A and B are shown apart, each in its own frame.
Chain A
């Protein structure tokens, strides 16, 4: 481009020079005038370039943020704070953190549509375990002379929701991806100094057997393993839930039937009294590893919790050894937590029953240890669908009252 401009200017200068020579009749006067005109022209051009360059630059650099800011202001002004909270609520639903929206403190500020969606997600993903009595610690007393009715302790459990499935790699990945390992508030204060140890095979924060901060391919629906008790508890906090207590876990699997004046009757396995190799993933099943959490749906509990027995052991919030015999107690590490349910490598069926309790150190990150979450009914807003069922009954009662009058 510049080449053509310079060439054009040269041709023009020659034409002007010849015209002025003809006009003044003197070549020297014509040359002097041409040089003067060229100098004035190029000076003016240079001045224009200079002014354009230094006046336009600050103008554009300021203009962009103002534009963005004005867009933001305009968006905020048009939609208000409500939209912000709605988009946050939607994000939480996408992340599977629906229980946070169903908390009484938060539910007030959430639109009913989103609340309904959260309630539907709760119903899909969690099973309701009613409150009542359960026997915990059955078989934990080693004394052979102990009568059956004294074996195990009766514990009162409040109603709660329990995850239908163990927490999967995919679900746990959302926690890792959203900086779960950097949010100190999610972690128990005593474990914060050890957080840097909770890394995967490549040194990235995450479960022990992951690579580059991601689970292995094809294992999205497998239960997350290689997480210690503290990691499980942090995830549960992030998702708005908690780990189930030991009696809660037993109750959800053994589903006790209360009997008036007698100890409740409860199942040995979630599906009944007799062991069935086809209903769970233990050593005898021959998989030699974890399977997707939806498998073995024939072995689900009465309430609809899948794989309570087998696949991976599940962390509970309770300490290990609470139900052991006082005659010869175990000398235990104080950090040992109760685990339940058996895993893919559990050899004996008798060690994978609803009654059987094992334990491991809270910092153990093993290949057969996973978890599922729970939340108390009292921690959530009342279920709208359940309330709706109560209304017709009330109407009927009113009608009956009117008729009676």
Chain B
């Protein structure tokens, strides 16, 4: 008796590999079997999903200086939205999208902050998810990478230094800007200047297409606001008083903007690590103001 089996022809496989796959982020052609884009190091799984599922995901950027809390914010947001059925529900697409959430939650549950995101783009965590908003009929596909703060700063100072960031910011439909409240409270102007640079960069990207104010929705989130309670009461007033340049810039350059305050740690202690200096330790986790900016942004997109 003869058993009939189907065996793919090697020539067919070769032909498949010969067809280039364009990176969803930067548009560079890549081999079919490649895992990361050879130009920007974004995962090609995003391109495969876009191609096979026929959906064009929107992009949301979470930006801020190094240690502003981008990883914690993004990880916490995803965990909260997948854990409770609120007004916005999120469903991860692809197993790689859960890694960021997993790492962040594992660290926070044992009273640690997650490790710093490395500067190398091939080691960044990308999240591709489906967000369903109660008021909208169709769910939205979203891509949100967790990029390193130093890399963002480098790209702003020297455009195209990080092609992934450059292409992503050009294409993204909404932006979450994180300002470190703790550092603002300590009197440093670093946050102010960094965010001003970023706002200028983003608005100029938009102005190339059309003159006037940018319509891209921007949420300015004062992270670590648990260390400054008045920030929660009125974030816009806080911005006006503590970061007046930033407040002015946002008003002049964007039409869709909102100020928010968020916090993850209920209380923070510090630990002297041998050879590494002082590191912050969350004494307990009490998320506050995490979902609100995202929800506002998703409705604006």
Q: Which stretch (A185-193, A328-336, A389-397) binds chain B?
A: A328-336
Residue of B nearest to A328 (CB): B271
Known contacts A284-B83, A359-B267, A359-B269; is A347 also within 8 Å of B283 by CB?
no
With A328-B271, A348-B108, A351-B109 known as contacts, the answer to whether A368 contacts B281 (CB < 8 A) is no
Does B10 have its Cβ within 8 Å of any Cβ on chain A?
Answer: no
- Interface pair A343/B286, CB less than 8 Å apart: yes
Which partner residue on chain B sits nearest A357 by CB separation?
B283
**Does chain B have a CB within 8 A of A314?**
no
Q: Report the separation of the CA atoms of residues A321 and B283 in the bound assembly, to the nearest whole angstrom.
A: 11
Query: Given A330-B270, A331-B270, A358-B267, A286 and B109 touching (CB < 8 A)?
Result: no
Contact A345 B272 (CB under 8 A): no
**B163 CB–A CB distance under 8 Å:** no
Docked Cα-Cα span, A336 to B268, in Å, equals: 11
Cβ proximity bits A304-339 to B, threshold 8 Å, 1 near / 0 not: 000000000000000001000000111110001000
Given contacts A284-B84, A328-B271, A368-B266, contact A359 B109 (CB under 8 A): no
- Asked if residues A358 and B283 are in contact (CB atoms below 8 Å), the reply is yes
Q: Which of A328, A342, A350, A359 contacts B283 (CB 8 A)?
A: A359
Q: In the complex, which range does the number of interface residues on chain B fall in?
A: 20 to 34
Q: Tell me, yes or no, whether B241 is within 8 Å of chain A by CB.
A: no
- CB of B103 within 8 A of chain A? no
CA A37 to CA B10, docked complex, whole Å: 150
A283 adjacent to chain B (CB < 8 Å): yes
Closest beta carbon of chain A to B244's beta carbon, Å: 27
Chain B 260-301 interface residues, beta-carbon cutoff 8 Å to A = 266-267, 269-273, 278, 281, 283-288
What are 14 A-B interface contacts by the 8 Å CB criterion?
A284-B84, A321-B269, A330-B269, A330-B270, A330-B281, A332-B270, A345-B287, A346-B285, A346-B286, A348-B285, A351-B109, A351-B285, A358-B284, A359-B283
Q: Which residue of A lies closest to B264 (CB)?
A: A347
Instruction: Determine how close the nearest CB of chain A comes to the CB of B284; give it in whole angstroms.
Output: 4
- Say yes or no: B286 contacts A345, CB within 8 Å: yes
CB pair B271–A331 under 8 Å, yes or no, is yes
Interface residues in chain B, defined as those with a beta carbon under 8 Å from any beta carbon in chain A: 83-84, 108-109, 111, 266-267, 269-273, 278, 281, 283-288
The count of chain A contact residues (Cβ–Cβ below 8 Å) is: 25
A360 and B286 in contact, given A286-B84, A348-B109 (Cβ under 8 angstroms):
no
Q: Which of A26-49 contact B (CB under 8 A)?
A: none
CA distance A346 to B109 in the complex (A): 11
Question: Are the C-beta atoms of A330 and B286 separated by less than 8 Å?
Answer: no
Interface of B is mostly: strand
Tell whether, in the assembled complex, residue A368 and residue B270 are in contact, meaning their CB atoms are under 8 Å apart. Answer: no
- Give the residue among A286, A347, A350 with the most B Cβ atoms within 10 A: A347
Instruction: Please report the C-alpha to C-alpha distance between residue A345 and residue B263 in the assembled complex, in whole angstroms.
Output: 12
Q: Which of A329, A350, A368 contacts B286 (CB 8 A)?
A: A368
Closest to A332 in B: B269
CB <8 Å contact, A331 and B278: yes
B284 to A, closest residue via Cβ:
A358
Is there contact, CB below 8 Å, between A347 and B278?
no
Q: Give Cα A347–Cα B270 distance, bound, in whole angstroms.
A: 21
Query: Whole-angstrom distance between the alpha carbons of A359 and B109 in the complex?
Result: 16
Q: Which of A284, A331, A348, A350 contacts B269 (CB 8 A)?
A: A331
In the complex, A246→B27 CA distance in Å? 60
Q: How far is the CB of B12 from chain A (nearest CB, A)?
A: 51
Kindly report which residue of chain A lies nearest to residue B283, judged by CB atoms: A358
A364: B residues at CB distance < 8 A? 267
Instruction: Given A331-B272, A345-B287, A358-B267, output 20 extra A-B contacts at Cβ < 8 Å.
Output: A283-B287, A284-B84, A286-B84, A328-B271, A331-B269, A331-B271, A331-B278, A332-B269, A345-B266, A346-B266, A347-B285, A347-B287, A348-B109, A350-B109, A351-B111, A351-B285, A358-B266, A359-B269, A368-B266, A368-B286
Instruction: Chain A residues near B109: list those with CB within 8 A.
Output: 348, 350-351
Task: Kindly list chain A residues whose C-beta atoms are within 8 Å of the C-beta of B284.
Answer: 342, 346, 351, 358
> Measured between alpha carbons, how far is A321 from B267 in the docked complex, in Å?
13
Whose C-beta in chain B lies nearest to the C-beta of A344? Answer: B286
* Whole-angstrom CA separation of A350 from B283 in the bound complex: 12
Q: Across the interface, name the chain B residue whose C-beta is closest to A321.
A: B269
- Please state if A345 and B271 are interface contacts (CB–CB under 8 Å): no
Bound complex: CA A283 to CA B108 (Å): 15
Query: CA A256 – CA B267 in complex, angstroms?
Result: 29
- The smallest C-beta distance from B285 to any residue of chain A, in angstroms, reads 4
A350→B287 CA distance, assembly (Å): 15
Nearest chain B CB to A290's CB is how many angstroms away? 14
A330 to B270, CA, bound (A): 6
CA gap between A366 and B226 in the complex, in Å: 10
Residues of B contacting A330 with CB < 8 Å?
Answer: 269-271, 281
What CA separation (Å) do A358 and B270 show in the bound complex?
13
Which chain A residues border B267 with CB–CB below 8 Å? 358-361, 364
Residues of A contacting B269 in the complex (Cβ-Cβ under 8 angstroms):
321, 330-332, 336, 359
Which of B109, B111, B283, B284 has the most chain A CB atoms inside 10 A of its CB?
B284
B287 contact set on A, CB distance < 8 A: 283, 345, 347
Give bound CA distance, A345 to B286, whole Å.
Answer: 5
CB distance from B102 to the nearest CB of A (A): 14
